[in-house]
């Protein structure tokens, strides 16, 4: 049976953990990614993820996914997919299965778009091995969700690129950055 996408029902991740030096490093990691310095960006995201995970923060998954994306774009493909799978497993292990499924499907699409079909297959195989539906990921496009407001392009706190399907919606107008916990208001259209 197909699970419903739990955008609004998603568990809200309450903690804001990346204050002070962590926040500075996070901003730098996003800036490096934005300007194509993927290898350095990947290393920063991974270090943040390790630290965040050591402290038991649920948001660590997001850092792992971004580290994986950056590593892949840097050409470190197999290692990048390892990081993506670590991020998905973290979600799954924390019982955030709706989110694991949504992000897994999204990654399958992204990897396919980059021509990385064996890597997409690795993600799919893992999802199937834990009983997550891999559905029909062709539906996912630019991250817009009907009925939800547009967001500013970047998080005011950490500079993360914001996509409506990659934030926590706490009400229909208000989202929380998955990286740093900053609250972002949607822009009415
Ligand atoms: Zn942020």
DSSP 9-76: TSPP-------THHHHHHHHHHHHHHTT-HHHHHHHHHHHHHHHHHTT-TTHHHHHHHHHHHHHHTT-
Taking the centre of ligand 1 as the mean of its atom positions, its distance from the CA of residue 183, in whole angstroms, is 8
CATH number of the domain enclosing 78: 1.25.40
pLDDT recorded at residue 180: 87
**Residues sharing a CB contact under 8 Å with residue 152, sequence separation 6 or more, in sequence order:** 162, 184, 187
Short-list 160, 155, 153, CA closest to 48 = 160
82/40 same-domain check: yes
Least confident of 10-19, 31-40, 82-91: 10-19
Three-class SS of residue 97? helix
Taking the centre of ligand 1 as the mean of its atom positions, its distance from the CA of residue 119, in whole angstroms, is 28
Least confident of 41-50, 72-81, 114-123, 160-169: 160-169
Q: What is the average pLDDT across 44-58?
A: 87
126/153 same-domain check: no
pLDDT of 137 strictly over 60: no
Percent of the chain past pLDDT 90, that is, above it, reads: 58
32/123 same-domain check: yes
Taking the centre of ligand 1 as the mean of its atom positions, its distance from the CA of residue 98, in whole angstroms, is 22
Residue with the larger pLDDT of the pair 164 and 77: 77
Taking the centre of ligand 1 as the mean of its atom positions, its distance from the CA of residue 159, in whole angstroms, is 6
pLDDT of 16 strictly over 70: no
Q: How confident is the model at residue 2 (pLDDT cuts 50, 70, 90)?
A: very low
Asked whether the beta carbons of 38 and 70 are under 8 A apart, the reply is yes
Number of domains in the chain: 2
Residue with the larger pLDDT of the pair 11 and 95: 95
pLDDT recorded at residue 19: 54
Residue with the larger pLDDT of the pair 100 and 23: 100
Taking the centre of ligand 1 as the mean of its atom positions, its distance from the CA of residue 18, in whole angstroms, is 9
Taking the centre of ligand 1 as the mean of its atom positions, its distance from the CA of residue 117, in whole angstroms, is 31
123/32 same-domain check: yes
Taking the centre of ligand 1 as the mean of its atom positions, its distance from the CA of residue 181, in whole angstroms, is 6
Q: Which residues form the domain of 125?
A: 21-138
Q: What is the average pLDDT across 94-107?
A: 92
Least confident of 38-47, 93-102, 117-126, 136-145: 136-145
61/127 same-domain check: yes
Taking the centre of ligand 1 as the mean of its atom positions, its distance from the CA of residue 23, in whole angstroms, is 9
pLDDT of 12 strictly over 80: no
Count other C-beta atoms under 10 Å from residue 44's C-beta.
23
State the residue for tokens 């706190």. 157
pLDDT recorded at residue 33: 98
pLDDT of 1 strictly over 60: no
pLDDT tens per residue across span 73-90: 999 999 999 999 999 999
Taking the centre of ligand 1 as the mean of its atom positions, its distance from the CA of residue 45, in whole angstroms, is 13
Taking the centre of ligand 1 as the mean of its atom positions, its distance from the CA of residue 130, in whole angstroms, is 30
Taking the centre of ligand 1 as the mean of its atom positions, its distance from the CA of residue 30, in whole angstroms, is 10
Q: Looking at the domain assignment, is residue 157 inside a domain? A: yes
Taking the centre of ligand 1 as the mean of its atom positions, its distance from the CA of residue 154, in whole angstroms, is 8
């Amino acid at each position: 049976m197909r699970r419903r996408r739990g955008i609004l029902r998603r568990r809200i991740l309450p903690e804001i953990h990346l204050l002070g030096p962590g926040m500075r490093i996070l901003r730098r990691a996003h800036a490096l990614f934005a300007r194509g310095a993927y290898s350095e960006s990947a290393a920063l995201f991974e270090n943040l993820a390790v630290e965040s995970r050591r402290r038991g923060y649920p948001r660590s998954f997001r850092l792992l996914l971004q580290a994986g994306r950056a590593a892949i774009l840097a050409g470190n493909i197999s290692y990048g997919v390892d990081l993506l799978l670590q991020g998905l497993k973290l979600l799954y292990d924390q019982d955030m299965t709706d989110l694991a499924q949504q992000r897994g499907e999204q990654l399958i699409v992204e990897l396919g778009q980059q021509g990385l079909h064996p890597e997409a297959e690795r993600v799919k195989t893992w999802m199937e091995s834990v009983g997550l539906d891999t559905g029909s990921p062709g539906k996912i496009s630019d991250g817009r969700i009907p009925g939800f407001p547009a967001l500013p392009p970047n998080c005011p706190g950490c500079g993360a690129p914001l996509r409506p399907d990659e934030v926590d919606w706490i009400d229909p107008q208000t989202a929380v950055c998955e990286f740093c916990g900053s609250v972002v208001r949607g822009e009415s259209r």
